[in-house]
């Protein structure tokens, strides 16, 4: 990274793994996605966000989460994994700072419901947010329905946001999961970005890092878009590695040849 700072005058990494929400490029899909997710939350329903690897799912989830004001929503955020329903309950309790070693599911469910009721009693909406939800076992989805069915004063209490790769939808279409899927009000699929958006996206990150706006030639932008398939994570890897190749050549403008060199050095 020091090489890029010295050569291009960057103040920091132009393509970091985690970008602060305030610095996110305003992708065209972000605001419509936020609106659909919030509609589901207001209805105490379930919103689903899917996309290919590196399409910006987790980033979109961070963006949406940042818009959930603490006076209105309390997020219960976990990362999916190949764990049992009991481990799901433990993960939820851990978000409340509780390390629960009980092997009695009924005790853990009772405690979770108690915590959810406490949040709802403050006129705050508890929202269960699961990133990498495609990793969950089918049996866990049936337990999620049990939590989603929890009612207070005959009204649903806890909406959910499920975020994951495309086969999350396969889980939701299974017969055993249909009761949960019936509560989905917003399915949001993140598409790859167009070339014009890719150009603005790359320039945005270069500007944020403190560099000159036109670092990538038109041919390089085309090559990045083509090589990444319009997926952000791949585009970031190509762009950063190509910047190193360009610096190694002593140049100031990244060319299509630099992108070709970069593509041989990363997993595509």
Q: What pLDDT, on the 0 to 100 scale, is given for residue 101? A: 65
What CATH number does residue 197 fall under? 1.10.8
| 121 and 137 part of one domain | yes
Tell the residue number behind the tokens 């762009």, with chain if given: 239
- Confidence class for position 153, pLDDT limits 50, 70, 90: low
In a domain, 202, yes or no: yes
CA dist list (Å): 201 to 61, 84, 90, 97, 258 = 18, 40, 39, 38, 19
| 101 and 158 part of one domain | yes
CA 133 to chain centre: 11
What is the per-residue pLDDT across 33-55, written as a single tens digit (0 to 9) for each? 999 999 999 999 999 999 999 99
By residue range, what is the domain housing residue 214?
2-12+193-263
- The mean pLDDT of 224-249, rounded to a whole number, is 97
| 241 and 181 part of one domain | no
**% of the chain residues with pLDDT over 90:** 79
d(CA 88, CA 79): 10
In a domain, 23, yes or no: no
d(CA 31, CA 80): 25
Q: What pLDDT, on the 0 to 100 scale, is given for residue 268? A: 64
Q: How many domains does the chain have?
A: 2
In a domain, 225, yes or no: yes
| 64 and 186 part of one domain | yes
In a domain, 20, yes or no: no
Q: What pLDDT, on the 0 to 100 scale, is given for residue 146? A: 80
| 133 and 229 part of one domain | no
What is the per-residue pLDDT across 208-218, written as a single tens digit (0 to 9) for each? 999 987 899 99
In a domain, 63, yes or no: yes
Q: What pLDDT, on the 0 to 100 scale, is given for residue 180? A: 92
Q: What pLDDT, on the 0 to 100 scale, is given for residue 5? A: 87
Length of the chain measured in residues: 268
Please report which residue ranges of the chain form alpha helices under DSSP H: 2-8, 30-42, 57-66, 85-95, 105-121, 138-148, 168-173, 178-181, 195-208, 218-228, 232-249, 256-263
What is the per-residue pLDDT across 52-111, written as a single tens digit (0 to 9) for each? 999 999 999 999 999 999 999 999 999 999 999 999 999 999 999 887 666 688 888 888
What CATH number does residue 155 fall under? 3.40.50.300
| 125 and 36 part of one domain | yes
What is the per-residue pLDDT across 175-187, written as a single tens digit (0 to 9) for each? 999 999 999 998 9
Q: What pLDDT, on the 0 to 100 scale, is given for residue 150? A: 63
8 A C-beta contact, residue 59 and residue 196:
no
- Confidence class for position 13, pLDDT limits 50, 70, 90: very high
Global pTM value: 0.92
């Amino acid at each position: 990274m020091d090489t890029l700072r010295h050569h291009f005058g960057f103040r920091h990494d132009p393509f970091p793994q985690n970008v602060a929400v305030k610095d996110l490029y305003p992708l065209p899909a972000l605001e419509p996605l936020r609106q659909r997710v919030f509609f589901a939350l207001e209805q105490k329903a379930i919103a689903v966000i899917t996309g290919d690897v590196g399409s910006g799912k987790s980033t979109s989830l961070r963006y949406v989460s940042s818009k959930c004001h603490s006076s209105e929503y309390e997020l219960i955020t976990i990362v999916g994994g190949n764990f049992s329903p009991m481990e799901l309950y433990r993960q939820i309790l851990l978000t409340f700072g509780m390390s629960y070693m009980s092997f009695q599911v009924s005790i853990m469910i009772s405690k979770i419901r108690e915590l959810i009721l406490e949040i709802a009693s403050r006129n705050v909406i508890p929202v269960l947010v699961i990133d990498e939800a495609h990793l969950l076992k089918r049996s866990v989805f049936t337990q999620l329905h049990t939590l989603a069915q929890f009612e207070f004063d005959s009204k649903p209490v806890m909406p959910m946001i499920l975020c994951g790769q495309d086969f999350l939808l396969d889980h939701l279409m299974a017969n055993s999961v249909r009761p949960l899927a019936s509560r989905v009000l917003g399915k949001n699929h993140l598409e790859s970005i167009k070339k014009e958006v890719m150009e603005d996206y790359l320039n945005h990150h270069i500007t944020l890092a403190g560099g000159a706006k036109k670092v990538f030639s038109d041919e390089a932008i085309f090559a990045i878009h083509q090589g990444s398939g319009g997926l952000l994570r791949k585009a970031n890897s190509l762009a950063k590695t190509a910047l190193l190749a360009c610096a190694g050549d002593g140049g100031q403008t990244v060319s299509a040849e630099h992108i070709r060199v970069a593509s041989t050095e990363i997993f595509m």
